[in-house]
Amino acid sequence: MIRAIGLYIFFLYFYIEYWGKVKFNGFTVIYTFKGSSICLGEGILINSSFLSNLLGLYQRTIIVARYGGKITIGNNCGISGSTIYSMEEITIGNNVIIGGNCKIVDNDFHPLDCYKRNPQSINDIGKKKIIIGDGCFIGANSIVLKGTELGYNCVVGAGSVVCGKFPDNVIIAGNPAKVIKQNSQKDKTELL
């Protein structure tokens, strides 16, 4: 009960801080730990209510930066019931749509070496920044892993597991995600 009240207070803090810049549909968890930062652009729509996205959301939207993590989300983005969790750096460009139930994480959460997991140190957790370019669309139930770089106007097929660097104007899909075709070539100024 105390945890729920605390999360609601944080929700109200961010709701007031981003009033007029971000539209919240439902209770969204946004949490910044000491030494970390979250920067949200204007015109963002964050869906967290189970009826705000009729695709079906399994969770509320959760945006967390900790252990020095930095999250920057550009203007006119849409996020539905997804988790964005940073311990390093996640940069999301303008006009990006993140479909329902996606996960974007720039870290492993735990050390990969079994002998370092218990007790674990933050220094043993693998971290690499993520860059998602302007105009990208991340399909529902996709996972974007540490070290990923998506160029301008990339489309990620639903349910993909993405890790690696991808050029502008491609459609990627699968586990692991790979380029399956070129997207239509558009001038960047059309989306900006």
- The catalytically annotated residue of 110, 128, 129, 188 is 110
Nearest CA to 72 out of 120, 122, 37 is that of 37
> Facing residues of 181 across strands?
171
Check if the beta carbon of residue 138 is closer than 8 Å to that of residue 96.
yes
Instruction: Look at the block and give the residue holding tokens 């961010």.
Output: 14
Structure tokens at 62: 């959760």
- In this structure, is the dihedral angle defined by the CA atoms of residues 129, 133, 134 and 138, taken in order, positive or negative? negative
Task: Tell me which long-range contacts 11-19 makes (C-beta under 8 A, separation of at least 24).
Answer: 18/44
The two beta strands, 37-40 and 70-73, are parallel
Sequence-separated (6 or more) residues with CB below 8 Å from residue 116: 124
Active site residue 110: yes
Residue numbers annotated as active site: 110
